[in-house]
Structure 1
Amino acid sequence: MNHLASSPLQGSCTLVGAGPGDPELLTLKAVKAIQAATVLLVDDLVNDEIVSAYARPDARIVHVGKRGGCKSTPQSFIEKLMITAVREGEHVVRLKGGDPFIFGRGGEEVEHLREEGIECAVVNGITAGLAAVTALGVPLTHRDHAQGVVFVTGHAKTGHAATEHPTDWRALAATARDARLTLVIYMGITGAHHIQQELLHGLAADTPVLVVQHASLAHQRQLTTTLGRLANDLAQEGFGSPAVIVVGDVVRGAAAVDAELPRRLANGD
């Protein structure tokens, strides 16, 4: 329902990407939006230093947890908070890790706000899939190794629609092989064994894989391995979320930071 006619809006709403974690990777536009906000709805994956450094002292800060594998604030409740605050004349910033429009549910929030007669601005952030490889000097595309990149989630929406249209990992593997594409898998740690087994139907076991946990932060961890060893090495090294899995020949560039990778690739481990 459109409420513009009965109750003119005085507030505003902006979806802001906080990037992968490092405060220095924020855009100038993101900083300005945070500084202007009177209400901040902050996701779990947003670095606390960002809010401490840039939120105004009188801003109301509401932490709305959205982290894979943990109890999350219901999406409907978050959207209700946003709408209510805007109608009360607040300048609302919905602060999200990474980029709002890359697996950040930003599209859903914008659609819901528009249904309520509220236009929402969006400020992009550096997505974790890009920051993860850049921190190691590895590209996502390379003229000799990868002609494109695919961003895909390993944690699809639950419910009937997800059951009808699950990710076809086998088809994706075949496409990545034939078109020379890099696969960047978000939220794939929990389902890593299933994803690995399905990808092996189209990609060789010695396909290089890079896993980066807590990208861009001081406690970042990385693992360079092969598709055939992925699930085993993740378990052995104790990797968890949040992490990004990168599959493809561009990962060979990560050998500079992992002395084990050349041996694994040579031996097909």
Structure 2
Amino acid sequence: RRVVVVGGGQVAQRRLPALIAAGADITLISPSATPSVEAMADTGEIHWERRRYQDGDLADTWYALIATTDTAANDAASAEAERTRTWCVRSDDAEAATAWTPATGRSEGITVAVRGRRLLAEADVVIADRLGPRDLLDELPPHVEVIDAAKIPYGRYMAQEAINQALIDHAKAGKAVVRLKGGDPYVFGRGMEEAQALAAEGIPCTVVPGISSTISVPGAAGIPVTHRGVAHEFTVVSGHVAPDDPRSLVDWEALARLRGTLVLLMAVDKIGAIAQALVAHGKSPDTPVALVQEGTTAAQRRVDATLATVGERAAAEDVRPPAVIVIGEVVTVGAGLAG
């Protein structure tokens, strides 16, 4: 059902994931948006009209969320909702809305005391990656400040130095700070850099390990990274620099000799060159490859190829980061299973 969100700031960033998860047909109306909200539009989770609110925008809408800093626009949208009998929630003035969204609790018959969730509940400030568990942001109390630390590939991003400084500044101000990441913070997540920056300032921190996307994303796509009689090991590699780049720390010749599974992160734009290097060093060009884009999200999709064809397939299918790339016979193990 059609939902309109007016405003692309922190409130929208916190509320959109739940609407996406509910299967809403979402239109965002805002001249600007946070990087994480922009990423939702780029991946097709929402439709973004980059402009200010206009009368008539709530036509045929079931639910509207008004969340701009422009009081006049909020008033006008609320007035339209009143005329059209549209359920409308305002972030700035609940009394002026046609509906209220009270604090909610979610349960499926069991409560799991996850350590990270408990720490998040105690936070004053949350510095969140766009690939983190977005739905949790909707559960935060209104007073919690959410800082968007999204890093959009080839697009907008918050510099690592700025993230480090934000952690330090808010902690020194006496606030409980949570750095919310996706996957595991120590697997290409620059978590150690942040921990080192805090340690250098004498600020204690607690690290809560997560499940790396190198395992979870292939699993969500029906691919086991190991399988009896097929692969006895898997190797995780960063593909952010090409094999012939002097900055590369990867021994591609050695990787080509391995019989197990290769899992590549940050390798979408380099996969053609990587495939060529592996074949040149002896890997069979018929080796199966799977590219899993936006793994574990509503926008997840899988593209299959071989080392000989993956470069062309990735381009033809317009595969974009973030994507996890799996190379090896395990790619075909789960053929026929829903992923």
Shorter-chain TM-score: which interval? Answer: 0.7 to 0.9
Q: Is the 8 A contact 1:39 1:60 kept in 2?
A: yes
Query: Structure 2 stretches of 5 or more lacking a match?
Result: 1-20, 22-107
Residue matched to 2:93: none
2: CA distance, partners of 1:114 / 1:203: 44
Q: Report 1:240-255 matches (<5 A).
A: 240-255=320-335
Report how far residue 257 of structure 1 moved: 4.8
The amino acid across from 1:195 in the alignment is I
Q: Name the SS for the 2:304 alignment partner.
A: strand
Q: Is the 8 A contact 1:185 1:245 kept in 2?
A: yes
Tell me the TM-score normalized by structure 2: 0.62
Q: Is the 8 A contact 1:44 1:63 kept in 2?
A: yes
Q: Is the 8 A contact 2:221 2:295 kept in 1?
A: no
Report how far residue 82 of structure 1 moved: 0.5
Q: Name the SS for the 1:255 alignment partner.
A: coil
2:147 is the alignment partner of 1:67: no
2:181 is the alignment partner of 1:85: no
Report how far residue 192 of structure 1 moved: 1.2
For this pair of structures, how many residues does the alignment match? 226
Q: Report 1:167-206 matches (<5 A).
A: 167-174=250-257, 176=258, 180-201=259-280, 202-206=282-286
Q: Name the SS for the 1:195 alignment partner.
A: helix
Residue matched to 1:36: 122
Tell me the TM-score normalized by structure 1: 0.78
Q: Is the 8 A contact 1:101 1:107 kept in 2?
A: yes
Residue matched to 2:53: none
| Counterparts in 2 of 1:46 and 1:151: CA distance versus 1, 3 Å | same
Q: Name the SS for the 2:336 alignment partner.
A: helix
CA RMSD of aligned residues (A): 2.3
Report how far residue 27 of structure 1 moved: 8.3
Residue matched to 1:110: 195
1: CA distance, partners of 2:263 / 2:113: 23
Aligned counterpart for 1:51 among listed residues 137, 146, 152? 137
| Counterparts in 2 of 1:233 and 1:164: CA distance versus 1, 3 Å | closer
2: CA distance, partners of 1:228 / 1:111: 42
2: CA distance, partners of 1:143 / 1:249: 11
Report how far residue 119 of structure 1 moved: 2.2
Larger displacement relative to structure 2 (69-78 or 85-94): 69-78
Q: Name the SS for the 1:190 alignment partner.
A: helix
Q: Is the 8 A contact 1:208 1:225 kept in 2?
A: yes
2: CA distance, partners of 1:148 / 1:45: 27
Q: Is the 8 A contact 2:218 2:324 kept in 1?
A: no
Identity of aligned residues (%): 36
Q: Name the SS for the 1:84 alignment partner.
A: helix
Q: Is the 8 A contact 1:36 1:56 kept in 2?
A: no
Report how far residue 46 of structure 1 moved: 2.6
Using CA pairs below 8 Å that are at least 6 residues apart, which structure has the higher relative contact order?
1
Q: Name the SS for the 2:315 alignment partner.
A: helix
Superposed CA offset, 1:205-260 (max 9, x none): 111111101111122100122111111111111111110000011111142159xx
2: CA distance, partners of 1:192 / 1:123: 32
Aligned counterpart for 1:213 among listed residues 293, 308, 316? 293
2: CA distance, partners of 1:145 / 1:27: 37
Q: Is the 8 A contact 2:133 2:181 kept in 1?
A: no
Q: Is the 8 A contact 2:241 2:270 kept in 1?
A: no
**Greater share of helix:** 1
Residue matched to 1:133: 218
